[in-house]
Structure 1
Amino acid sequence: MTVWDHALLGVASIFSGPEAFSVLGISISITLVMIALGFLMGITVGATPGLAGPMAMAIALPILISIFGYSQDAFLPVMGFLIGIMKGATLGGAVPAILFNIPGTPDAYMTTFDGYPMAQKGQAKKALKVAHLSSVSGDTFSDIVLVLCAPFLAVLVESYIDLPEKTGLLILSLAFIAAVIGDSVGKGLISMGLGLMAAMVATGEDFYPRLTFGMPELAQGFPVATAILGVLILGEVFKSIEDMVRSGIRPRDTIKSTVDGDTLTFKDVKRLAPYIARSSLIGTIIGALPGIGSTLAATLGYTYARNRYASVKAQDDPAFGEGAPEGIAATEAANSAVSGANLIPVLSLGIPGNAAAVFLILGMESIGGFNPGPSVFRLPSDGINPELVMAFGLFAAMFLTNGLNWTIGGVLMRAVGVMARVSTEVLLPVVLLLTLTAIYVQETSMAAIWIAVGFGILGYIMRRVGMSPLPFVIAFILGGNLEQTARQAFAATGGDPFFLFTHPIAALFMLMSLAVIVFNLRKSPS
């Protein structure tokens, strides 16, 4: 079968899956329903300060798996829901940034610089429309690049990378993530080392579990979802509770502007188009590099646009930071373009680049039947590659979510603006309860709850000392794969202990790992 045959099967699987209900005799698949529900939840979460897309994905994944099970029929509904959250949250983060000067997500921080001044001038509606147009444009461009580049990169990897090279590539990815995330390379490396250490518990090929301290609960290792939800979600909740107790509960500002104001004209769109295009390209390039994330993409997009705008703006146009629509356009296009490009290393190499990608990979591994990596895009000489069909199903789900973004995203953005007024003392207990419920639903064990609390305390300590938990999470995800690949490479090279340095490409990866760390150490302030 050809690539087009696999693509058609993948698209058809979205529409012809298990039926949720029918309308006028037309069957509506459960996958379509889950994509729409995920998108709605994503916008709501993004519009709620203190929440984020990865947090909602983390809580939803165990519950979804308990509902749909582990069969292949569950793959697209579960992944469609997660993709809907990821894309909706990016769009929704601009709402409180514009209306309340409170970024719903970290990557929407730059949106406040021009979005809130526009709202104070009575142009909130126009600012929201600019954010909507820019976000969806950047997201769509990034998804097109994903579809074109992920198969090409997978074929390239399949042709030139063997077990030693794959081991070196995993080490390079971990070194890159540890070096670029956070303000300190040293703290990033410590976070990564802790993640690898946690991944080593009870794993390997020994007859007896290792590093379990004789505890039978750890004989199978730390449950992946439990450890990740503990570090990422409970750690953040514990820190937020302490911050709230120290500073006291402060009521959020009331709305100082309405969503009325100027509409977005064709002339406005034409003026914004160059800024959207450049920031979409910046965000896509940044997103394809593991570990950098959308916050940096938004910062770079905004900075480049500000420099460009200063040289071309008219005398009566507002400057950046004073309500320039171009500032919103540059920021939202850049941070939204990261989401699709972040799946390039996920699908072609099996390497997550940000927190959202971690939960997509975790969903793939939990359900089974889809192993991200070069084999996904392998075209068999005869028969069907089911993983390739699933990959095209994921692509179709992403474009369908973009379709929802284009059609009803703007209306939903204005509707969920009220979520920015949810108080912290209400929000935190709800998040804590949902997280513990999701963990118990997944593991059905009180031991898992205590393990999650332990990892939550670790995540709290990491945040308090200024250490990003993301290198820990990605190292924990990749640790088992790294060890298995290294063992296989060691055996395949005849027990050569220097296999990482005797193969040219592997040696190049190791040299690049060292160079990334040294280069960022020279830049690091600590």
Structure 2
Amino acid sequence: MGIWDHVIAGVLAVFQSDPVLGVPLTILMVLGGFLLGITVGATPGLAGPMAMAISLPILISIFGFSNDALLPVLGFLIGIMKGATVGGAVPAILFNTPGTPDAYMTTLDGYPLAQKGEARKALRVAHFASASGDTFSDIVLVVCAPFLAIMVESYLDLPEKTALLILSLAFIASVIGGSVGKGIISMGLGLLAAMVATGEDFYPRLTMGQPSLSEGIPIAAAILGVLILGEVFKALEDIYLDDRSAKAQTGVNVQESKVEFLELRKLFPYIGRSAVIGTCIGALPGIGSTLAATLGYTTAKRRYAIKKSASDPEFGEGAPEGIAATEAANSSVSGANLIPVLSLGIPGNAAAVFLILAMDSIGGFNPGPSVFRLDGGIGDGALNPEMVMAFGLFTTMFVANGFNWTIGGIFMRVVGVMARIPKARLLPIVLLLTLTAIYVQETSMVAVWITIFCGFLGYIMRRVGMSPLPFVIAFILGGNLEATARQAFAATGADPFFLFNSPIALVFILLAIGVVIYSLRSTAR
């Protein structure tokens, strides 16, 4: 079977899924996730990963663990990820309240434009730029992920793959957060947690004699605790220390204001440049959309200073070009972030973490280089079910983009009222829903207590300025790293220097050391 057979099979898997009210189930799930994502994105204090974290256990309890459940569940999560990306511009423009760090750049021109009575124009520009950047990023994902995976599978053996995982962890620990040392500590804690009761030993490791840990730390409990509960605990403390943050922001009047095609045409160069910047940054694990938004905005500002006329507003005073550049940059990160996920099995951001968690929980799809093998390891002429699933995932992303272009702009203006809901009322609901979702998936109070413990760990990390994302990514990759290293050790005849005998593996290890040293020196400067 050729590549086009897998593409067709993946598309059909989406559009021929069991119909509900005459609509294929996967399409319906993408739509539901997309609408929920916009709503969550338009609500300060919430974020796409929070909604994905709460939804995943509930979806698994509804659909079960069969292979048929994977595409509907992933479709819903993809919809949330896409919707939250475009919805984040709503509170930034209407209420000068960035729900996420990357939305801060949108407030610089979005809110001043809204204060001039052109809020709807600002929202239309943000929607058009976001949808454009997202679509461009998805196209790059579909083109690049298979080729990268094929190259990795063709040229990298077990020692090289082990070294590549070490390089990825070193890169993520070094670039996330303001301190390389704290990033490495966070990564080390994640690897330590992943080693609990796992591996190929005949007895549980690091369980401290506790039978409840004999099967390891549940992956959902660790991830949801550190990422979601840690953020909730910190936000609740912030509200307690500053009562003003619990009050709703004062918004602006949303008046009708059209955006003519000639105005959009002026934005094309800014959208295109920012889409390329965001896609390049998104393809690198761990960097994230905040840097993309910042670079997109500053690059556009330099061009705008040269091209603008005397009557045009300055950046920071309501320039539509500033909104377009920021939204195109941070939206184009979402698709590109799945390039390392699907080609290498390495998550690049929090949203990708929950997609991998869904794949791991349900089974039937292990992201990595083997996904795009034409034989799938099951013989010549047969379809590779994982490649079919990958192209089904690509299809759901383009379906979500279709919803974004058609109904996204309308719905994001409708849910602007969500920005008025105080965080003090939302966060306890998020806390309760997260713990309930954990219990629904694990059906064990031990998992709930582990989640709470990991939540306090995530809270402490945030309070000391340590990013929890290296912890989470190291926890996910820890088992794979150990298994690959063991296999490489055995395949090389128990050679303790297997990482240094291969030229490619040696280059990866030297790069890992170089990334850490360079980041340490940059931080010192």
Give the shorter-chain TM-score range: over 0.9
| Distance in 1 between residues matched to 2:230 and 2:100, nearest whole Å | 17
| Distance in 1 between residues matched to 2:249 and 2:356, nearest whole Å | 38
| Distance in 2 between residues matched to 1:434 and 1:260, nearest whole Å | 36
Deviation at 1:341, TM superposition (A): 0.4
Equivalent in the alignment of 2:222: 227
Equivalent in the alignment of 1:271: 266
Following superposition of structure 1 onto structure 2, how do residues 378-389 of structure 1 map, counting pairs within 5 Å? 378-380=373-375, 381-389=380-388
The aligned amino acid for 1:420 is A
Equivalent in the alignment of 1:318: 313
**Deviation string, structure 1 residues 34-82 (Cα, Å, up to 9, x no partner):** 1000000000000000111111111111111111001011010000000
Equivalent in the alignment of 1:367: 362
Deviation at 1:19, TM superposition (A): 2.3
Q: Does 1:137 align with 2:136?
A: no
The aligned amino acid for 2:482 is E
Q: Does 1:6 align with 2:2?
A: no
Equivalent in the alignment of 2:513: 514
Q: Does 1:71 align with 2:66?
A: yes
Q: Does 1:166 align with 2:167?
A: no
Equivalent in the alignment of 2:486: 487
The aligned amino acid for 1:499 is F
Deviation at 1:490, TM superposition (A): 0.5
The aligned amino acid for 2:430 is V
Aligned partner (choices 89, 95, 101) of residue 90 of structure 2: 95
Equivalent in the alignment of 2:502: 503
Deviation at 1:33, TM superposition (A): 1.0
Equivalent in the alignment of 1:336: 331
Deviation at 1:97, TM superposition (A): 0.3
| Distance in 1 between residues matched to 2:339 and 2:247, nearest whole Å | 42
Taking only aligned residues, the RMSD between alpha carbons, in angstroms, comes to: 0.9
Question: Structure 2: any 5+ residue segments left out of the alignment?
Answer: none
| Distance in 1 between residues matched to 2:230 and 2:366, nearest whole Å | 29
Following superposition of structure 1 onto structure 2, how do residues 254-269 of structure 1 map, counting pairs within 5 Å? 254-255=250-251, 257-269=252-264
SS in 2 for 1:524: helix
Following superposition of structure 1 onto structure 2, how do residues 101-180 of structure 1 map, counting pairs within 5 Å? 101-180=96-175
| Distance in 2 between residues matched to 1:137 and 1:444, nearest whole Å | 42
Question: Structure 1: any 5+ residue segments left out of the alignment?
Answer: 23-27
Aligned partner (choices 30, 38, 46) of residue 35 of structure 1: 30
| Distance in 1 between residues matched to 2:470 and 2:102, nearest whole Å | 18
| Distance in 2 between residues matched to 1:525 and 1:426, nearest whole Å | 41
Aligned partner (choices 243, 248, 252) of residue 252 of structure 1: 248
| Distance in 1 between residues matched to 2:141 and 2:87, nearest whole Å | 22
Deviation at 1:258, TM superposition (A): 2.1
**Deviation string, structure 1 residues 369-428 (Cα, Å, up to 9, x no partner):** 101111111112311111111111000000000000000000011001000011122101
**Deviation string, structure 1 residues 239-270 (Cα, Å, up to 9, x no partner):** 11111111124422222x22214311111111
The aligned amino acid for 1:233 is I
Deviation at 1:104, TM superposition (A): 2.3
The aligned amino acid for 1:287 is G
The aligned amino acid for 2:441 is Q
Equivalent in the alignment of 1:462: 461
Q: Is the 8 A contact 1:90 1:105 kept in 2?
A: no
Q: Percent same amino acid among aligned pairs?
A: 72
Equivalent in the alignment of 1:17: 17
**Deviation string, structure 1 residues 442-500 (Cα, Å, up to 9, x no partner):** 11111111111110110010000000000000000000000000000000111111111
Following superposition of structure 1 onto structure 2, how do residues 411-430 of structure 1 map, counting pairs within 5 Å? 411-430=410-429
Equivalent in the alignment of 1:293: 288
**Deviation string, structure 1 residues 260-285 (Cα, Å, up to 9, x no partner):** 14311111111000000000000000
Aligned partner (choices 42, 45, 57) of residue 52 of structure 2: 57
| Distance in 1 between residues matched to 2:279 and 2:328, nearest whole Å | 10
Number of residue pairs aligned between Structure 1 and Structure 2:
520
Deviation at 1:103, TM superposition (A): 1.1
Deviation at 1:30, TM superposition (A): 1.3
Q: Is the 8 A contact 1:36 1:401 kept in 2?
A: yes
Deviation at 1:29, TM superposition (A): 1.7
Q: Is the 8 A contact 1:184 1:525 kept in 2?
A: no
The aligned amino acid for 2:124 is K
Deviation at 1:325, TM superposition (A): 0.4
SS in 1 for 2:389: helix
SS in 2 for 1:110: helix
Equivalent in the alignment of 2:437: 438
**Deviation string, structure 1 residues 204-223 (Cα, Å, up to 9, x no partner):** 11100000001000001000
Equivalent in the alignment of 2:206: 211
| Distance in 2 between residues matched to 1:173 and 1:18, nearest whole Å | 39
| Distance in 2 between residues matched to 1:146 and 1:424, nearest whole Å | 35
| Distance in 2 between residues matched to 1:97 and 1:339, nearest whole Å | 19
| Distance in 1 between residues matched to 2:285 and 2:350, nearest whole Å | 11
Q: Is the 8 A contact 1:283 1:335 kept in 2?
A: yes
| Distance in 1 between residues matched to 2:442 and 2:360, nearest whole Å | 16
Equivalent in the alignment of 2:189: 194
Equivalent in the alignment of 1:25: none
| Distance in 1 between residues matched to 2:445 and 2:336, nearest whole Å | 38
| Distance in 2 between residues matched to 1:453 and 1:158, nearest whole Å | 40
SS in 2 for 1:109: helix
The aligned amino acid for 1:291 is G
| Distance in 2 between residues matched to 1:170 and 1:271, nearest whole Å | 43
Q: Is the 8 A contact 1:50 1:104 kept in 2?
A: yes
| Distance in 2 between residues matched to 1:214 and 1:333, nearest whole Å | 52
**Deviation string, structure 1 residues 113-155 (Cα, Å, up to 9, x no partner):** 0000000000101100000000000000000000000000011
SS in 1 for 2:259: coil
The aligned amino acid for 1:406 is W
Following superposition of structure 1 onto structure 2, how do residues 401-412 of structure 1 map, counting pairs within 5 Å? 401-412=400-411
Deviation at 1:107, TM superposition (A): 1.6
| Distance in 1 between residues matched to 2:340 and 2:237, nearest whole Å | 36
| Distance in 1 between residues matched to 2:482 and 2:426, nearest whole Å | 40
| Distance in 2 between residues matched to 1:262 and 1:21, nearest whole Å | 37
SS in 1 for 2:21: strand
Equivalent in the alignment of 1:450: 449
